[in-house]
Amino acid sequence: MKPYTMTVSPDFMPDYIAGWYIFNTWLQRQLGQSIHLELYNDFATQREAISRDEIDLIYANPFDAAMLVREKGFSAIAAPQDKPDEVILAVPAESPVKKLDDLTPGTRIARTDDPDVNLIGMMMIESADLKADNTHVQMLDSYVLVAKALFQERADLGFFLKEAYESLSDFVRSQLSVLLSSEIHVVTHVLLASPAFTTHQDELRACLLDMPHRDKGQGVLDSMGLSGWQLQAQEDTEFMIDLMDTLA
């Protein structure tokens, strides 16, 4: 029988690559199912696999959750505990920009291809009358490169997933200044299961919620940078999707 395939949103922290492989091995033992972990370098490649119905389990970012739930029939299983997706807007430490209203048309924005971060970031700068048609965007491969573009003064403003910003080295963060941090609280990554995984969904949900109390479960969570999982009801996911649609 062909194994199920699990993937992870490409915006997860590289430090946790090994943790996701450890989690995959642990999960297979808990469920008694064969699951292959496939990681993609970018969102476009991952979405192509999703469109071909090659994905059964996905730790999805909030933006892609909308497509997965409404177009592909995926079901919400769980979300990470105490880990909302918040966005930090940062500028070079020596920048004359000290508050949002100091930003002007022509601002050079450095960002990755992380869709929910970019959506929230663009919403945050609207109050400074900035939008897509009066800013210049540089798309970079990682948040480290976004930070580099800022302190090398090749960009005026950077969009960061808060977790990614806080994982930057002390030296790198000393070259930057936080302009604004979002406080949305209800936007989060979520583990989703495809219709093909329906018969195992209840067992998967119970397994994740009980993970800290199961053999080696807490150690696996630590390797992923998670404290645990919390129930993510379908209506919670629908509310988040509606919010993302409103922001868009």
Q: For residue 32, what is the DSSP state?
A: T
Question: Residues 133-148: what's their mean pLDDT?
Answer: 94
Question: Residues 20-36: what's their mean pLDDT?
Answer: 97
pLDDT at 110: 97
pLDDT above 80: residue 231:
yes
What whole-number distance in Å separates Cα of residue 214 and Cα of residue 200?
18
| Share of residues in the chain with pLDDT > 90 (%) | 77
Domain with CATH 3.40.190.10 in the chain: 4-83+186-247, 87-181
Question: Residues 52-75: what's their mean pLDDT?
Answer: 92
Q: What share of the chain is helix, strand, coil (3-state, %, to 5)?
A: 45, 20, 35
Question: Residues 202-231: what's their mean pLDDT?
Answer: 95
pLDDT at 238: 86
User: Which tokens sit at 130?
Assistant: 């900035």
pLDDT at 179: 95
Q: Which tens digit of pLDDT belongs to each residue from 104-128?
A: 999 999 999 888 899 999 999 998 9
Of 90 and 13, the structure prediction assigns the larger pLDDT to 90
pLDDT at 15: 84
CATH of range 87-181; options 3.90.320.10, 3.40.190.10, 3.30.565.10, 3.40.50.720:
3.40.190.10
pLDDT at 62: 87
Q: Which fold has domain 4-83+186-247?
A: D-Maltodextrin-Binding Protein; domain 2 (3.40.190)
3-state secondary structure 173-233: HHCEEEEEECCCCCCCCEEEECHHHHHHHHHHHHHHHCHHHCCCHHHHHHHHCCCCEEECC
Which pLDDT band, with edges at 50, 70 and 90, does 248 fall under? low
Whether the predicted model's global pTM rises above the 0.95 cut: no
Dihedral in degrees, nearest 10, Cα atoms 143, 79, 42, 123: -60
Mean pLDDT over each residue of the chain, to the nearest integer: 92
What whole-number distance in Å separates Cα of residue 226 and Cα of residue 209?
12
